[in-house]
Amino acid sequence: EVQLLESGGGLVQPGGSLRLSCAASGFTFSGYTMSWVRQAPGKGLEWVSTITVSGARTYYADSVKGRFTISRDDSKSTLYLQMNSLRAEDTALYYCAKVVVTIREGFDYWGQGTLVTVSS
Amino acid sequence: DVVMTQSPLSLPVTLGQPASITCRSSQSLVFRDGNTYLNWFQQRPGQSPRRLIYKVSNRDSGVPDRFSGSGSGTDFTLKISSVEAEDVGVYYCMEGKNWPPITFGQGTRLEIK
């Protein structure tokens, strides 16, 4: 059974940093592109970042480019999102999501999310 | 970037009645490989999203056949032939043709009348 378990969320002040983790199991993690998608409270889904197999390529939404860094540790089957210079508008539930085969077809498995709150 | 516009944003439906959600793209979603990368996701209250339909009309494994997707080019529709209580939630279209980025529609909230 595929499982994605996010952690690392919490309350942080504007300008602060957080590192999210997503522990994957039930599939060959190293063989799949992975993404982060977020959802602000009461709002819709927003793609944040994607990392391809072996970390060969990374992609970011314009809203987080230069502030967030996605990475992966295939030996630990874990996806990360380093978030720096956090802003109030980054407040959201952050989902880890497994890309199907091509990201053009979306995501077939999602974690339960970890909540990030940016507030003073 | 492409803009995905869903309508309606709120959809009250009587149990057993059909429901239809429209998603319009600001540009064609036909990719150079001939595929149209328009997908639909369901998010039930308090749950993570779940993919229902990929490439316009392909149902995911385990998705009831009351769900169907159709459309072409820039106009797409998700239909539920007979709404059940478990269908309550928010439905999102997502386009992948213009990756990167990935763009979702605003969401349509389906509720039972």
Mean pLDDT by 10 residues, chain A (120 residues): 98 98 98 98 98 96 98 98 98 98 95 98
Distance from A57 to chain B by nearest Cα, in Å?
12
How confident is the model at residue A98, as a pLDDT?
Answer: 98
Q: Is the pLDDT of residue B58 over 90?
A: yes
Confidence of residue B1 (pLDDT cuts 50, 70, 90): confident
Average pLDDT over residues B12-19: 98
How confident is the model at residue A86, as a pLDDT?
Answer: 98
Residue of A nearest to B98 (CA): A104
- CB-CB neighbors (< 8 A) of B54 in chain A: 100, 105-106
Which residues, at least 6 apart from B49, have a Cβ–Cβ distance to it below 8 Å? A37, A45, A95, A107, A110, B41, B42, B43, B92
| % of residues, chain B, pLDDT over 70 | 100
Average pLDDT over residues B59-78: 97
- CB-CB neighbors (< 8 A) of B35 in chain A: 104
Q: Is the pLDDT of residue B29 over 90?
A: yes
How confident is the model at residue A56, as a pLDDT?
Answer: 93
Here the tokens at position B13 are: 């439906």
Confidence of residue B3 (pLDDT cuts 50, 70, 90): very high
Residue with the larger pLDDT of the pair A23 and B1: A23
Average pLDDT, chain B: 97
Top residue of A22, A43, A45, A63 to mutate, by most chain B CBs within 10 Å, is A45
